[in-house]
Structure 1
């Protein structure tokens, strides 16, 4: 199997050290391609940079495209200690400070989009423009049975699964389960290839710690949603209440057939963010960065043509 990082980015997979939200140094995997204004592609829960595989090349013709794996995901470090609910916002800010010499355009999907909204609120001077795709901004529950299962697994059990390399030993079965899950978020499931599945599963089957960190992130999400529904303090309601503070140009993209979060959420989000636009993408499920990559890319470039000068 070819090295996706090497095939996609001129310098292949690179590594950056940041201080995480807990005060510890961690290695962040990233790749970049193109020159000019930086454009960050931010993945969602359980995913990694590979999900943007079809967007890197066309966007890199106009921008310096940077894909990074958030801590705990993909090829980045997976430290085994408790996390605060806003750790990704803090760590994304530190990635930007380390890699970008000017405020970047941020294009983010799903949980990454929620994190990016929080970043634009907390660090408004760090964001030139924002594109968010299928954002879990008004969730009522975890949207998938796999997430529900992970949310119930004790962290110690998830660590044991990792330490025994059970996902490696049962990789064919794991890939079959993952194939069902990934096809469920695509409008056209037939576009998912065997190579796609190999790379999507690679961190889970080959890189210890991935399952445990995925379980931890899902459990954080479950707790946040539970607190949101119970009107207890939580990060989601904090982001909701501060949406009016986002002043940068913002494009909201939503898959018309998103079975996880309805596109009516996109309309509510547009109404709360000043200077924002909403586009509903037809024939598109929750996984828009792959399932509707060409449409997403075209929408991003059209949105930015009058906002961000480029070559």
Structure 2
């Protein structure tokens, strides 16, 4: 039996040296870890809250067969910097914009999941010349009532206690209840990949700071404004999303005239994982289609 490594306990440098698979780049004094695969037109995958680049584990190779794919870890997640900073869409939009600048990417298609979808919306609205196409996957932004679990984890002291327990149970239940619809797909390897970064010290503080900043679903005006940007947009949603109801997808489509909406059956909040084959086909077709 493997020795249990406490959550929020491992030095970033040591844990990254042991497990990080990608490259590192300095952006305004903060380190960003990212995966880079394929060749062709650039596509940037932006993960959601509580996850990292592993959330695209079933999509990276399929997309990289057609495009040059980048999957960065947002600050506070994965193997990227953790520090007490003002987390929010402004910060994450800046990170992705600096990422594009550093790699000399003039424009790219963005695929954003949940909070990463909100980040994509903000970047597309502020810098439409940098965004070729948008794919919004169960994207945050529309005002929405929080699920019960999110309310619990906003309680100071309670969340810190639960997340410090020497068990996988809390995080495994969270993934099964909110993110992944097919519990049978949450294998031990998938679980370790998705949650491994939370062993790094400072992760609990960063994630709770993000959650308690309460900015996820504050983009109604921005989404409406994005509708006038002319950026080709596809919205993909899991029918069984327990975090952001499927009705948000229809509202978002109404706010973005001309956008394409795809509802994936038997898919939860991480629709790109639950229905990976269908997701990959839809995205490849959309990115290859004429604007």
Q: Give the TM bin, normalised by the shorter chain.
A: 0.7 to 0.9
Mapped contact 2:144–2:244 kept (Cα < 8 A): no
Match of 1:87 among 79, 88, 91: 91
SS in structure 2 at match of 1:242: helix
Q: Deviations over 1:233-263 (max 9, x none)?
A: xx52442442323311110001111122222
Match of 1:52 among 44, 49, 56: 56
1:198 correspondence with 2:202: no
TM-score normalised to structure 1 length = 0.81
Q: Deviations over 1:134-167 (max 9, x none)?
A: 112223222241x22332227xx95xx8xxxx84
Superposed, 1:89-238 pairs within 5 Å as 89-145=93-149, 147-153=150-156, 167=164, 170-171=165-166, 173=167, 175-184=168-177, 185-205=179-199, 207-221=200-214, 224=215, 235-238=218-221
Q: Distance in 1 between matches of 2:63 and 2:104?
A: 17
Q: Distance in 2 between matches of 1:196 and 1:71?
A: 22
Indicate how the Cα distance of structure 1 residues 203 and 33 shifts in structure 2: closer, same or farther if over 3 A, else same: same
Residue number in structure 1 paired with 2:263: 280
TM-score normalised to structure 2 length = 0.86
Residue number in structure 2 paired with 1:74: 78
Residue number in structure 2 paired with 1:22: none
Mapped contact 1:38–1:102 kept (Cα < 8 A): no
Q: Distance in 2 between matches of 1:187 and 1:201?
A: 17
How much has 1:42 moved relative to structure 2? 0.8
User: Aligned-pair RMSD on alpha carbons?
Assistant: 2.6
Residue number in structure 1 paired with 2:11: none
Q: Distance in 1 between matches of 2:33 and 2:153?
A: 25
Gap regions ≥5 residues in structure 2: 3-15
Structure 1 segments of 4+ aligned residues over 3 angstroms from their partners:
81-85
Residue number in structure 1 paired with 2:22: 13
Gap regions ≥5 residues in structure 1: 20-24, 229-234
1:253 correspondence with 2:248: no
How much has 1:30 moved relative to structure 2? 0.4
Mapped contact 1:251–1:277 kept (Cα < 8 A): yes
Mapped contact 2:42–2:67 kept (Cα < 8 A): yes
SS in structure 1 at match of 2:227: helix
Count of residues in Structure 1 that have an aligned counterpart in Structure 2? 274
1:271 correspondence with 2:254: yes
Q: Distance in 2 between matches of 1:135 and 1:47?
A: 14
How much has 1:39 moved relative to structure 2? 0.7
SS in structure 2 at match of 1:138: coil
Indicate how the Cα distance of structure 1 residues 29 and 144 shifts in structure 2: closer, same or farther if over 3 A, else same: farther
Mapped contact 1:50–1:199 kept (Cα < 8 A): yes
How much has 1:67 moved relative to structure 2? 0.6
Mapped contact 1:139–1:261 kept (Cα < 8 A): no
Indicate how the Cα distance of structure 1 residues 138 and 85 shifts in structure 2: closer, same or farther if over 3 A, else same: same
Indicate how the Cα distance of structure 1 residues 244 and 46 shifts in structure 2: closer, same or farther if over 3 A, else same: same
